[in-house]
Structure 1
Amino acid sequence: MADADPAALHEFRAEQAKPNTLRKKLLGGIAGAVLLIGAGYGGWYALVGSHHIGTDNAYVGADTASVTPMIAAQVLNVRVADTQAVRKGDILVQLDDSDARIALAQAEADMATARRQYGQATATSAALASQVEARGADITSARAQLDAAQAAYEKARLDLTRRQKLAPNGAVSGDELSSAVNAFASARANLELARAAIAQASSTRGAASGQLAANNALISGTTASTAPEVLAAQARVAQAKLELERTLIRAPIDGVITRRNVQIGQRVAPGTPLMLIVPVGQLYVDANFKEGQLTRVKIGQPVTLTSDLYGGDVEYHGRVVGLSGGTGSSFALIPAQNATGNWIKVVQRLPVRVALDPRELQAHPLRVGLSMDAEIDVSAN
């Protein structure tokens, strides 16, 4: 090597140093890129990322309406099928209305009877009032008869007294005295009869007055439309009409039929679940966020969502409307019993209710149970 050309040796060493230089440049470039990416991510997180929290554990939900009958009857017709869209008020199921129609006819007959009975009570009051007046006239007549009997009695008494005084002198015959005694007895009997007639007439008038008062108490302050019996009959008619209307089961809300489990000919009882109606225009999302993400979540904050059904090209916009009262595991059928020695900590998730924009739902319909990605802007108040 001592005899080697210095120029060649220098050139050899330069060639050996080139890979090290390239490696250093490459490592320096990678380090710079990493620093640049880290700085960019740090800036993005500080300006944007720290103000948003997201989860892919979110699902579409809805407050479904359960369709149940209010009366017991046989199913005559089912007008809808699963997946069919219905509007509020549409007829879903028709029940046999024979019993309901008979009950309505009976109630209407009872109401007619109640109205007639009220009319009879009114007429009875008029008749009783006439009887009271007639008994008053009877009392007046009986009093006149009493006056006549009293006068006859006094006359007979005087005649008898006068003849009894003359009898010892022989001025009055025995037959005449006997006639006077008989006349006096007859007058006294007629007087007692007249007094009894007054008492009887007074009693009869009192009975008629009592009947009139009792009858007036039933109809006083009422009319043919406000009498209690008529009102009760009207209530039975209204109830019968309601039962008849309930033979047609209608949709309580707009939505889509699901879980229809009623068939023609089936006899249903009140409260039997017939089907469900899902209000696809009033859906919401339950987004399950980790407990550490909820520090700054507040009601009213905007939420951006995407669905696995449409992908990222379709965005939904909603707002936080509430946070659940407990985690999903706490309301499970068999809740976790961590107090029994379960020392493994599991990050819990809390459902956050997000209301969706109905106009966006109409443009891109969703269904209950579909998966969603949700991102909350926690910087908004």
Structure 2
Amino acid sequence: MADAEPENTARTSDPTAQANDAPQEQRNGARRKWLIRLGLLVLVVALLWGAWYLLFGRNHISTDNAYVNAEMAQVTPLVGAQAIEVLVSDTQAVKKGDILVKLDPTNMEIAVAQAQADLAEARRRFRQTAATSESLAAQVEARGADIVQARAQLATAQADLEKARIDLQRREALVDDGAVSGDEVTAARKTFASAQAALRLAQAGVKTAEATRGAATGQLEANQALVRGSTEDTDPAVMAAKARLDSAKLDLERTVIRAPIDGVITKRQVQVGQRVAQGSPIMTIVPLSQVYVDANFKERQLRDVRIGMPAEVKSDLYGGDVVYHGKVVGFSGGTGSSMSLIPAQNATGNWIKVVQRLPLRIELDPKELAAHPLRVGLSMEVEIDLAAD
């Protein structure tokens, strides 16, 4: 110990050792200052982040899993025929009502001509049926006259029979006195028999005339049932023929395929000379003025989201300088995975929870869309303000 103390005293009094310890202390002091500054910086950043979160961050949710979509119109021919003219191509803008494709109208023109002939035939049959009713009515009147005539003949036959009966009785009463010969009695009996036969014939004639009139009346009623309460234009057969003509004309009009909405042509699949089938898609029209954004948010983010909340949307196409303003208009009926073609099914024993995403729809401002058009499928960034009413 006695030896160590002089050594320490010598080291302390050594100017070279003191010169070596001074820079070390300076470095330690500078390091403490930087650590203090770094701690203060971290504290300031934490305070700023906390203030941002309290004032802004907790009231906003965002996602970059969002894409432009639209209610696209599938153009499908309503009649099958050969394409004779195609007037549009992909990327071409069209207006509602513009002609897209013309189909061969030959078969439809023939169908229209046939339907017109059927309508004319139906009208002719109605007029013929109406005329037949008039003819049958005249026949019923004629059969009535036949009945009157037959009854008159019956009355005559009855009178002749009564006269013959009286003559026969008178002659038979005079036979015993010899005042009347046997030949006269025989002739009287023959006349009486003839009168009876004539009476039966007259009775049969009345029945025949009545039956004939009944048949004519039945034919008249049956014919009248075809035209009763109808005119030429309201006759069922004429109306059916009109419907077939309207259908044929409609098919003829459909040989000219027009744009159902305003938009841009995509996926054109028809060429001149190609026979298109009824109902098969030949092109798609995308309405660029009516696109919307489908944003896929995590399920936990949607806890406070309500329909009508405002949203700001940015597109990778234009960058952050262009901001679209929209609002939430609806939620999907299921998550993206559940609506996929083959929904995911986790195996038994898989304890890893997969966070699901639920699509919601953002409607954009039409004026902003017109100024900066979007295309279906573009990537978007969406931020929703939860604090807005």
Classify the TM-score, shorter chain.
Answer: over 0.9
Structure 1 position 363 matched with structure 2 position 362: no
Deviation at residue 45 of structure 1 after TM alignment:
1.1
Deviation at residue 325 of structure 1 after TM alignment:
2.2
| Pick aligned residue for 1:30 from 38, 48, 52 | 38
| Pick aligned residue for 1:235 from 243, 257, 275 | 243
1:291 alignment counterpart: 299
Q: Provide the identity percentage.
A: 61
The number of residue pairs the alignment matches comes to 381
Q: Give the partner amino acid of 2:104.
A: D
Structure 1 position 379 matched with structure 2 position 387: yes
1:311 alignment counterpart: 319
Q: Distance in 1 between matches of 2:86 and 2:361?
A: 35
1:282 alignment counterpart: 290
Q: Give the partner amino acid of 2:133.
A: S
Deviation at residue 11 of structure 1 after TM alignment:
9.1
Q: Distance in 2 between matches of 1:225 and 1:50?
A: 73
After superposition, where does 1:124-273 map in structure 2 within 5 Å? 124-273=132-281
1:108 alignment counterpart: 116
Deviation at residue 14 of structure 1 after TM alignment:
6.5
1:74 alignment counterpart: 82
Deviation at residue 365 of structure 1 after TM alignment:
0.6
2:6 alignment counterpart: none
Conserved? CA contact 2:147–2:210, under 8 Å: yes
Deviation at residue 333 of structure 1 after TM alignment:
2.8
CA offsets, 1:311-344, max 9 Å, x none? 1111111111122222222222332221433333
| TM-score, normalising length: structure 2 | 0.92
Backbone CA RMSD of aligned residues = 2.2
Q: Distance in 2 between matches of 1:365 and 1:176?
A: 127
Q: Equivalent residue of 1:299, what SS? A: coil
Q: Distance in 1 between matches of 2:12 and 2:204?
A: 176
Deviation at residue 53 of structure 1 after TM alignment:
0.8
| Pick aligned residue for 2:91 from 83, 87, 90 | 83
Which is worse superposed, 16-25 or 189-198? Answer: 16-25
Q: Distance in 2 between matches of 1:125 and 1:165?
A: 60
| TM-score, normalising length: structure 1 | 0.94
Q: Equivalent residue of 1:350, what SS? A: strand
1:321 alignment counterpart: 329
Q: Equivalent residue of 1:295, what SS? A: helix
Deviation at residue 70 of structure 1 after TM alignment:
1.4
CA offsets, 1:120-152, max 9 Å, x none? 111111111111111111111111111111111
Runs of 5+ in structure 2 lacking a partner?
1-8
Q: Distance in 2 between matches of 1:5 and 1:309?
A: 74
Shift of the 32–195 alpha-carbon distance from structure 1 to 2, 3 Å rule, reads same
Q: Give the partner amino acid of 1:56.
A: D
Q: Equivalent residue of 1:329, what SS? A: coil
Q: Distance in 1 between matches of 2:339 and 2:20?
A: 77
Which is worse superposed, 368-377 or 133-142? Answer: 133-142
Q: Equivalent residue of 2:368, what SS? A: helix
Q: Distance in 2 between matches of 1:321 and 1:186?
A: 106
